[in-house]
Amino acid sequence: MRGAVPFEALGARWTLFIGTAAQCALEQEHDKGFFAILQDAMPSVGLGDVDDKAKMAAAARDLRIATLRSFALHGLAKHHPGLSIEQVDDIIDDLGFKDFGEIIGTAIAAAADRVAEEGGTTPGKRRTRTRRPNGKP
Q: What percent of the chain has pLDDT over 90?
A: 45
Task: Summarize the confidence of residues 48-59 as an average pLDDT.
Answer: 64
pTM: 0.73
The span from the CA of 97 to the CA of 60, in Å, is 11
Domain boundaries, the chain: 5-119
CB 13 within 8 A of CB 6: yes
Out of 19-23, 62-66, 108-112, the most confident range is 19-23
Model pLDDT, residue 75? 96
Check residues 105 and 55 and name the one with the higher pLDDT.
Answer: 105
